[in-house]
Amino acid sequence: MLDRDHCLALDAGDPLRDFRDEFVLPEGVVYLVGNSLGALPRRTAERVRQAVEDEWGGQLVGGWNLAGWYEQPLTTGDRLAPLIGAGPGQVVVGNTTSIAVYQTVAAAARLRPDRRVIVSDVRNFPTDHYMVQGLAGLLGGYEVRDFAEGRFDDAAVVLLSEVDYRTGARHDVPAVTARVQAAGALMVWDVCHSVGAMEVDVSMADFAVGCTYKYLNAGPGAPAFLYVNPRHLAAAENVLPGWHGHAEPFAFEPGFRPAEGIRRFAVGTPHVLSFAALEAALDVWERVSMRQVRAKSVALTSLFIDLVGDALELASPLDAADRGSQVSLYHPDGYPVMRALIDRGVHGDFRAPDILRFGFAPLYTRFVDVHDAAAVLAEVLEKELWREEKYARRLAVT
Amino acid sequence: MLDRDHCLALDAGDPLRDFRDEFVLPEGVVYLVGNSLGALPRRTAERVRQAVEDEWGGQLVGGWNLAGWYEQPLTTGDRLAPLIGAGPGQVVVGNTTSIAVYQTVAAAARLRPDRRVIVSDVRNFPTDHYMVQGLAGLLGGYEVRDFAEGRFDDAAVVLLSEVDYRTGARHDVPAVTARVQAAGALMVWDVCHSVGAMEVDVSMADFAVGCTYKYLNAGPGAPAFLYVNPRHLAAAENVLPGWHGHAEPFAFEPGFRPAEGIRRFAVGTPHVLSFAALEAALDVWERVSMRQVRAKSVALTSLFIDLVGDALELASPLDAADRGSQVSLYHPDGYPVMRALIDRGVHGDFRAPDILRFGFAPLYTRFVDVHDAAAVLAEVLEKELWREEKYARRLAVT
């Protein structure tokens, strides 16, 4: 096993090492769940306080103009765009990933009215697949086909996640996009599990969606985002036409008239306090090289795989090029194993039925953390510490 | 004109007078826009700080269990329920009013599959009507009929706001509900403009929706709520079936299986920071008598109408029983008049083409505020102060 001093040396040479100081991280914890909920940036508390006390408290309803609340779905969208290979005016922020999936898949289906098949991945993060089922049920006459069938020639739209939430397996975005589009279907990418962990590029895609509470560190339930390729902006329809997507919301017209450009995909009143935390998170990202993030992510996950060795079967791809920023391992008693790890300060999570997940957020995860997590995991497995009765108890949310 | 001392005496005798101290209100401002964005409760800053620093910062992903984030849509729903005449397990909080309108109208339409008419009010707050148009467009084969036509015998569902956002005119909820249901249609009430200002009772209705950022004071873009009558809970379908509406979200099943009860209407991941502000707002409401709120609301709006006299034409009903907690006045140059008022510390708002709106939030609006607002309005009108060039300028959001 690579020794701890070597890992400390890797940290000393890490070009991203100073970013760790930008985050609040509890003492004595190796936090490897940034792929589920990112850590709190130090600057966020003050930005949120400002939104509550100075903006809401000080400006009251005037904050819609004075504090820029009204424009936040677009201003944060433009700031976020470079992280997914998009340009200004192509990304709008708001709502949840579930809603954004619904909007984009429906918009894509409306752009291909002659086709009645929606391709979705049954192994995708469930909410994506559920929203497609809901949409198909409401529309009627649509077939929902599993992506694994590999047939797109009669499909209106294909929805897929760049990185699989359970295994961390990564799709070849350009290749899949090209194949789908060559078959005449539109491509919607969900980048929830890749954005902030690698150089994401959705610019070939027709639509994309993602969340901001994982690697982007915008906080629990932070707003989602939605990308529309400029070639569709004039024709794409928002099937959830709330007043913030109207050309003149404050004209209070009786009929919906879509805004020019990406704003038409806004829906209701934006959740301003949650946007404040996103703004603070984006302040950090503007100083980050995504090339360095990806390089470190590959190094961290590869090191973890090396250190874990053959102790457990790998659920993630062995080749780093095919992997996101997480490492998933199979264990038939994954739940108590993870409880035992957490009890020893190593926080990963468990995904039924048998997967241990460890996420490596490159901005605040150190090489020495990887070492320590692997050492604790080895001890828990070797000594079978997870067999203790107390670890069998299930929590409501894991 | 009633004199100022009399108004001060009314304040001294007001059983709700101490609640004003619970809010942050800027010096020198009479804030009559609580019907658009409620004022900041003093306790909110600390509750939001706690959510950011102690919960997110201290518990990280563990907050979903430890801090109760996962249950917030239901716990806040149960706390809010008494404000709309509902019981536990009947209200879920989340998303925006626009999304809640879509979910409830769609669910109602699915419960009346033999009928293809959705009745909506073209004068309703636009987002409600836009969402109905969007839903009808997606479903296909549906007629959207204006409520003013008064015909419900072939309608699946009727959507209406209890209080009109422009005029403050109030519907007779029991009478309208009974008439709609007698015609075999389902009734969806939007109580955005009434909840927190009067005793709302949706218990006869089939569904209801509302926002929490107006009279409820939960902050800009605070989450909306959705009520389902218990008689529909077993059969009503959430057409936006996100993972938080699933019976076992963390089982990550490939098919959507709705949760028992109201949770099935949850959608995506809740906006936790925005929920924290709602929790603080609800702390205040739990000590408030809605009977006293309504009595004061009637007294405040009636006093304002008396004081304004015949200076401007009243857009609101003269009879208090038919009015919400706002007074709207017509003025052909309403925009510059409102700018001139705001410049003098009296904050109302303007709704095109010709309405001045003044909202009276009973928890923090005093009788002396009503006096002072009426006096400033009288001066602006008498001296035609609004004709100054600087007041003609339009802002992006008014």
- Report yes or no: A358 at the B interface, CB cutoff 8 Å: no
Closest CA to A118 of A178, A177, A158, A154: A158
Q: Do A96 and B40 touch (CB under 8 A)?
A: no
Write the single-letter amino acid at B34: G
Nearest to B195 by CA among B85, B103, B286: B85
Residue A219 DSSP label: -
Per-residue pLDDT band at B398 (split at 50, 70, 90): very low
CA gap A117, B116 in Å, rounded: 26
Residue in B69, B224, B395 nearest the CB of A220: B69
Q: What is the mean pLDDT of residues A187-193?
A: 98
Q: What is the DSSP letter of A53?
A: I
| SS3 state at A254 | coil
Beta strands in chain B (DSSP E): 23-24, 30-31, 40-41, 91-93, 117-120, 143-146, 157-161, 186-190, 207-210, 225-228, 313-314, 326-330, 346-347, 349-351, 355-359
Identify whether the C-beta of residue A313 lies closer than 8 Å to the C-beta of residue A330.
yes
Tokens of A5: 């001093």
Which helix (H) or strand (E) covers residue A282, if one does?
helix A272-285
* pLDDT band per the 50, 70, 90 thresholds, residue A188: very high
pLDDT in tens, A318-362: 999 999 999 999 999 999 999 999 999 999 999 988 999 999 999
Residue with tokens 């998009």: A86
Quick one: which of A103, A327, A129 has its CA closest to B98? A103
CB proximity B205 to A under 8 Å = no
Tens of pLDDT, residue by residue over A208-237, are 999 999 999 999 999 999 999 999 999 999
The structure tokens 């509890």 sit at: A26
Q: Which residues of A are known to be catalytic?
A: 125, 190, 213-214, 357
SS3 call for A360: coil
Q: How far apart are CA A224 and CA B304, in angstroms?
A: 43
Q: Give the pLDDT confidence score for residue B174 in this predicted structure.
A: 98
Kindly determine whether residue A45 and residue B44, on different chains, have CB atoms separated by under 8 Å: no
What is the rounded distance in angstroms from the CA atom of residue B24 to the CA atom of residue B39?
7
d(CA A342, CA A380): 11
pLDDT tens-digit map of B108-166? 999 999 999 999 999 999 999 999 999 999 999 999 999 999 999 999 999 999 999 99
Q: CB-based contact (8 Å) between A256 and chain B?
A: yes
Mean pLDDT of chain B, nearest integer: 96
Q: Is A190 annotated as a binding residue?
A: yes
CA-to-CA dists, residue A181 to A13, A184, A204, angstroms: 43, 5, 10
Contact (CB, 8 A) for B242 and B236: no
E strand or H helix at A48: helix A44-49
Q: What value does the mean pLDDT take over residues A271-284?
A: 98
Length of chain B equals 398
Distance CA A296, CA A370 (A): 12
Is A66 exposed, middle or buried, given 0-12, 13-18 or 19+ CB atoms closer than 10 A? middle
User: Do B144 and B153 meet the contact criterion of CB atoms below 8 Å apart?
Assistant: no
Q: What is the pLDDT of residues B41-68, one digit of tens each?
A: 999 999 999 999 999 999 999 999 999 9
Roughly what angle, to the nearest 10 degrees, separates helices B367-382 and B290-308?
20
Domains of chain B: 4-42+289-392 (3.90.1150.10), 70-285 (3.40.640.10)
pLDDT at B397 over 80: no
Backbone angles phi, psi at B210, to 5 degrees: -175, 170
- Which pLDDT score is estimated for A166? 96
Query: Quick one: CA dihedral B259, B265, B269, B271, positive or negative?
Result: negative
DSSP one-letter string for B320-336: GGGB-SEEEEE-TTHHH
Is A44 annotated to bind ligand? no
Alpha carbons B174 and B176: distance in angstroms, whole number: 6
Its sign, for the CA torsion B362, B363, B365, B366, is: positive
Q: Are B20 and B288 in contact (CB under 8 A)?
A: no
For a pLDDT cut of 70, what percent of chain A falls above it? 98
Question: Model confidence at B309, in pLDDT bands (50, 70, 90)?
Answer: confident
* Contact present, A301 and A360 (Cβ < 8 Å): yes
A309/B20: higher pLDDT? B20
d(CA B349, CA A228) in angstroms, rounded, equals 35
Contacting residues for B56 by C-beta, under 8 A, at least 6 apart: A37, A40, A219, A220, B63, B272
Question: What is the least distance, in Å, from the CA of B292 to any CA of chain A?
Answer: 25
The verdict on A253 touching B (C-beta cutoff 8 Å) is yes
Q: How far apart are CA B396 and CA B16, in angstroms?
A: 36
Which two structure tokens, joined as six digits, stand for A184?
Answer: 């005449």
pLDDT in tens, B193-252: 999 999 999 999 999 999 999 999 999 999 999 999 999 999 999 999 999 999 999 889
CA–CA separation, B79 and B285 (whole Å): 9
Residue A160: is its pLDDT beyond 50?
Answer: yes
pLDDT digits (tens, 9 = 90+) for B380-394: 999 999 999 999 876
Mutate to test the interface with A, among B25, B96, B355 (most CBs of A within 10 A): B96
The single-letter DSSP state of residue A105 is H
**How sure is the predictor about A394, in pLDDT bands with cuts at 50, 70 and 90?**
low
Annotated binding-site members of B for pyridoxal 5'-phosphate: 97-98, 125-128, 190, 193, 213, 243, 269
Is there a binding annotation on residue A125?
yes
Read off the pLDDT band of B4 (50, 70, 90).
very high
Nearest CA among B96, B154, B155 for reference residue B128? B96
Asked whether A288 and A363 are in contact (CB, 8 A), the reply is: yes
Q: Does the pLDDT of residue A398 top 50, yes or no?
A: no
Name every residue whose Cβ is closer than 8 Å to that of residue B176 and which is 6 or more positions away in sequence. B158, B160, B187
| Exposed/middle/buried for residue A214 (C-beta within 10 Å: 0-12, 13-18, 19+) | buried
pLDDT digit string (tens) for B324-359?
999 999 999 999 999 999 999 999 999 988 999 999
In the structure, what pLDDT confidence band is assigned to residue A392 with cuts at 50, 70 and 90?
Answer: confident
* Residue A252 pLDDT exceeds 80: yes
pLDDT at A136 over 60: yes
Is pLDDT at A2 greater than 80 in this prediction?
A: no
The answer to whether the CB atoms of A96 and B267 lie below 8 A apart is: yes
B190 is catalytic: yes
ipTM over the 0.90 cut-off: yes
Residue B385, Cβ neighbours under 10 Å: how many? 18
| Contact list, A273 vs chain B (CB under 8 Å) | 48, 219-222, 271, 273-274, 276-277
Report d(CA B138, CA A238) in Å as an integer.
10
Sheet holding B157-161, edge to edge: B91-93, B225-228, B207-210, B186-190, B157-161, B117-120, B143-146
HSE-CB at B250 with a 13 A cutoff on CA atoms is: 14
Q: Nearest-CA residue of chain B relative to A141?
A: B139
A49: contact with B, CB 8 A cutoff: yes
Identity of the amino acid at A330 = Y
Mean pLDDT for chain A overall: 96
The reported pLDDT for the residue numbered B1 is 53
B288-322 core/surface letters (b: 16 or more CB in 10 A; e: else)? eebeebbbbbbbbbbbbbebbeeebebbbbeebee
